[in-house]
Amino acid sequence: MGPEALAQVLRPLADMFEKASYPNLLRGLESPDDALVWKLDAERALVHTADFFPPVVDDPYWFGAIAAANALSDVYAMGGTPLFAINLVGFPDDMDPMILSEILRGGGEKVKEAGAVVAGGHTTSDKEPKYGLAVTGVVHPDRILSKGGAKAGDVLLLTKPLGAGILTTAGKKQKSSTADLDAAIASMARLSANAAQLFRDAHPHVHALTDITGYSLIGHAHEMAHLSKLTLRFVVNDLPLLPGAEGYAKAGLITGGAARNREYYGAFVSSPRALERWQSEIVYDPQTSGPLLAAVDPAHSDALVAAFRAAGEPVWFVGKAVAGREGGIELE
């Protein structure tokens, strides 16, 4: 489902549950953030999210690990620490149950790596496998990191390379090299835990944070720009790419999701020069367990990048926030 259709579907719920009636709901349907946040007391708030989808890779273990990392990423994007998760499973009745066992093993090991626990789950029959998690974490109510809050002049940082959708499409069509697909799998399965901790340590100099997933870099950046009432400007040649992503994009190995993202978000995008077609495919490419995108005070960005490098965590400068059209994206 595309973002425009989703907004229409959710509108009745937003009207039904007005924010003023739920003062402890710090983040909810009223804004497109990465997870809900419910205040428990002055020191603690719960962060909760859910995500599941069909296989993005053929190996069941790695599918489980990637799906779990993807769900956990929403908690990290809010500045939270995961506590526990429950499995969400759809599985065909006529498929070997050991495949599901491997999916759950991959997801469980990723949850354990995050320092959380799988505490239960729910399974239903489906025509194809689907897997993900509902994750609950905790955050201090005064230290929530969210999509809104970027300020003009902020530096934009990205923590993983782009192109996962293109690579998995190439893999499904048996057009990718083993090395390229393995690199994409490793990136998608990599937790954003350490990156999120570095951003938390830099609070309050990290003004906005989100994770890049199915709505692409453009879509999620637009949400940040819209909530922050400004424009995000990206230097396209500075965007990090997974190995092979450029070549596969040039070969037309792209997803249907990229076209839907372009159709909805393209109206918010401007560029002083015409992008090459493959570059356009990259910025609209749906990601799975993609990077964190942060807007950081420029006076503290060099120190934060140095902290990332000292910790062995990848990070890239990719642009800046500027005064301009609310929700606008500039590509240069």
What pLDDT shows up at residue 1? 67
Strands 269-270 and 316-322: unpaired
Which residue is associated with the tokens 């959710």? 10
Reduced to 3 states (helix: H, G, I; strand: E, B; else coil), residue 97 is helix
- Name which of 77, 187, 50, 186 is nearest 131 in CA terms: 50
Distance CA 201, CA 198 (A): 5
Closest CA to 239 of 278, 190, 288: 278
Q: Element (H or E) spanning 281, and its range?
A: helix 277-283
From first to last of its 332 residues, what are the pLDDT tens digits of the chain?
A: 667 777 788 888 878 988 889 999 999 988 779 999 999 999 999 999 999 999 999 999 999 999 999 999 999 999 999 999 999 999 999 999 999 999 999 999 999 999 999 999 999 999 999 999 999 999 999 999 999 999 999 999 999 999 999 999 999 999 999 999 999 999 999 999 999 999 999 999 999 999 999 999 999 999 999 999 999 999 999 999 999 999 999 999 999 999 999 999 999 999 998 899 999 999 999 999 999 999 999 999 999 999 999 999 999 999 999 999 999 999 99
Whose structure tokens read 């579907």? 9
What pLDDT score was predicted for residue 314?
Answer: 98
CB atoms within 10 A of CB 259: 13
Cβ(110)–Cβ(69) below 8 Å = yes
The two tokens of residue 120 are: 């239960």
Q: Which CATH number fits domain 3-139: 3.30.930.20, 3.40.50.300, 3.30.360.10, 3.30.1330.10?
A: 3.30.1330.10
Cβ atoms 258, 286 nearer than 8 A: yes
Give me the pLDDT at residue 19, please.
Answer: 83
- Give me the pLDDT at residue 328, please: 98
The encoded tokens of residue 162 equal 């782009």
**What are the residue ranges of CATH 3.30.1330.10 in the chain?**
3-139
Give the architecture (CATH level 2) of 155-331. Alpha-Beta Complex (3.90)
**Taking the CB of residue 225, how many other CB atoms lie within 10 A of it?**
28
Return the pLDDT at 10. Answer: 81
271's tokens:
């560029």
The ranges of the chain annotated as CATH 3.90.650.10 are: 155-331
